[in-house]
């Protein structure tokens, strides 16, 4: 395929569906700063522009390049993750950042995409007969669990959970029987007491106060309670753009990152919240349709993996700010302020777009036998 062929295959609907939430995000960041472009909105716009650039680059590279380098990307992300252990900078009580030149990178974010690529690559090579063998499960489980444990140690409960869940979903997508996943899941449940040991004190209290947030309104339950107050006070149609009181008066913690959806719900009410939810739903549905049209298992797996990851972001974040799951620190995709998540997502969408562009490309199971 020539470059022009590829450009002509770019799915415009997907691009628009990506840009719409981003635009909403800019507006919300503008509002979160009290009606100012600084300090968040401008920088977010620049990042998004940069992210779009990356998305196109990723999308237009030959898909086989990604197939070939899948394990290398995974290995690179893995090394960065270990690098965090060694040289990482402790920010907010968590070692999550590693400096690569001028960029601050969150390797755990990168790992989310790397895991999708690696798993897609792995199952691309596994035949439908092989999938029934139990041993075939061992390498992907390692691929999933080792980085998950590393991320948990940072400690970043949200990302860790996200890795495990998205990985598990990908196993399911690859055709592994549900009962086998059930066994694996039971094993995970057994590991919970072990995982509890890894948790920092603040995470334990977060989980415990999740169960009863009102018990300690000024302590650890503060975030959830304030978020619910802001949410509920928004009502049907909200308090109007820039009219949210809880957010602007700083009762709402982290309103520009994790709790930005609360801010949106406060200012635009149930109508605004449902609208954004629908927008996300359409984006995911569209992504799913695009992915399933791919001829190659690799393309399908990549697309579905990205959609799954995206879904998990959306679900965990929204459920978290509405008090359905513990506060674990997962941003709202395309809207929350933050560089790493944005880049990861755009990289992911790039891959999804790539799979779409190359949907007619046949790729053999053995990758050294590539035909275009």
Partner 1 sequence: MLGGVQTLLLASLAGRMYQLQVVESDRYKTLADENRINMQLLPPPRGRIFDRFGRPLAVNQLNYRLVIVPEQAGDLERSLVAIGLLVQIEQRERERVLREAQRKRNFVPITVRENLTWEEVSRIEVNAPDLPGTMIDVGQTRHYLSGKEAAHIIGYVGAVTEKELAGDPVLALPGFRIGKNGAEKVFESRLRGKAGSRQVEVNAYGRIIRELRRDEGQPGDDYVLSIDMGLQEYANARIMHESASAVVIDVHSGELMALVSSPSFNPNSFTTGISQNEWNALMTNPRFPLTNKAVSGQYSPGSTFKMMVALAALEGDHINPNREIFCPGYLDLGNRRFHCWKRGGHGRVNMYTGITRSCDFYFYEVAKRVGVDDIAAMARRFGLGEKLGIELPSERNGLMPTRDWKLAVYGVPWQKGETLVIGIGQGFVLATPLQLAVMTARIANGGVAIAPKLVREAQRVGKRLPDLREPFPSMGLSAAHLAVVQKGMLDVTNDPRGTAYRARIEEPSMAMAGKTGSVQVKRITKAERERGVVKNEDREWKDRDHALFVGYAPIDSPRYAVSVVVEHGGGGSKAAAPIARDLLREVQRRDPARRGPEENIPLQTTVSA
The residue ranges that bind partner 1 (CB under 8 A) are 169, 172-173, 226, 228-236, 245-246, 248-251, 265, 269-270, 273-274, 277, 280-281, 284-285, 288, 304, 308, 311, 314-315, 318-319, 322, 324
Of 98 and 314, the one with the shorter C-beta distance to partner 1 is: 314
SS3 103: strand
Of 221 and 269, the one with the shorter C-beta distance to partner 1 is: 269
- Give burial (CB, 10 Å; 0-12/13-18/19+) of 370: middle
Write b or e for each residue in 162-179: b if 16 or more Cβ atoms lie within 10 A of its Cβ, otherwise e: bbbbbbbbbbebbebeee
Of 73 and 276, the one with the shorter C-beta distance to partner 1 is: 276
Of 37 and 322, the one with the shorter C-beta distance to partner 1 is: 322
Q: Residue 204, CB half-sphere, CA atoms under 13 Å: how many?
A: 9
Min dist. Cβ of residue 125 to partner 1 (A):
22
Min dist. Cβ of residue 177 to partner 1 (A):
13
Of 112 and 286, the one with the shorter C-beta distance to partner 1 is: 286
Cβ(112)–Cβ(62) below 8 Å = no
Of 96 and 112, the one with the shorter C-beta distance to partner 1 is: 112
- Write down how long the chain is: 372
Min dist. Cβ of residue 90 to partner 1 (A):
26
The rounded distance, in Å, linking the Cα atoms of 208 and 202 is 10
Cβ(273)–Cβ(238) below 8 Å = no
Min dist. Cβ of residue 78 to partner 1 (A):
27
Min dist. Cβ of residue 265 to partner 1 (A):
7
Min dist. Cβ of residue 278 to partner 1 (A):
9
* CA 292, chain centre distance (Å): 20
* CA 114, chain centre distance (Å): 12
Question: Which residues share a beta bridge with 105?
Answer: 98
Question: In which residue are the tokens 């997962």 written?
Answer: 330
């Amino acid at each position: 395929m020539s470059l022009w062929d590829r450009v002509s295959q770019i799915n415009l609907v997907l691009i628009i569906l990506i840009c719409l939430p981003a635009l909403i995000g800019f507006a919300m960041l503008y509002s979160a700063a009290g009606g100012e472009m600084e300090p968040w909105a401008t920088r977010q716009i620049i990042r998004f522009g940069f992210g779009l650039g990356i998305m196109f680059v990723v999308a237009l590279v030959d898909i086989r390049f990604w197939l070939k380098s899948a394990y290398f990307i995974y290995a690179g992300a893995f090394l960065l993750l270990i690098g965090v252990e060694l040289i990482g900078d402790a920010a907010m009580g968590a070692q999550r950042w590693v400096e690569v030149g001028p960029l601050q990178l969150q390797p755990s974010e990168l790992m989310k995409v790397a895991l999708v690529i690696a798993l897609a690559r792995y199952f691309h090579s596994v035949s439908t007969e092989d999938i029934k063998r139990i041993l075939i499960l061992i390498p992907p489980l390692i691929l999933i669990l080792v980085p998950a444990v590393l991320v948990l140690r940072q400690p970043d409960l949200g990302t860790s959970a996200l890795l495990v869940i998205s990985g598990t979903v990908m196993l399911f997508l690859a055709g592994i029987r549900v009962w086998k996943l059930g066994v694996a899941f039971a094993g995970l449940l057994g590991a919970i007491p072990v995982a509890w040991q890894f948790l920092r004190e603040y995470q334990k209290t977060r989980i415990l106060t999740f169960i009863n947030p009102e018990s300690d309104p000024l302590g650890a339950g503060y975030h959830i309670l304030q978020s619910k107050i802001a949410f509920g006070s928004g009502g049907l149609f909200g308090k109007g753009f820039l009219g949210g009181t809880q957010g602007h008066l700083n009762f709402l913690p982290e309103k520009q990152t994790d709790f930005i959806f609360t801010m949106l719900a406060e200012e635009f009410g149930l109508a605004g919240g449902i609208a954004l939810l629908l927008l996300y739903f359409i984006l995911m549905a569209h992504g799913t349709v695009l992915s399933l049209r791919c001829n190659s298992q690799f393309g399908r797996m990549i697309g579905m993996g990205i959609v799954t990851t995206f879904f998990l972001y959306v679900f965990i974040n929204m459920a978290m700010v509405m008090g359905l799951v513990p506060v674990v620190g997962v941003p709202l995709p395309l809207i929350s302020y933050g560089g790493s998540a944005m880049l990861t997502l755009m990289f992911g969408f790039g891959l999804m777009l790539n799979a779409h562009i190359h949907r007619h490309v046949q790729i053999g199971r053995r990758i050294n036998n590539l035909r275009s």
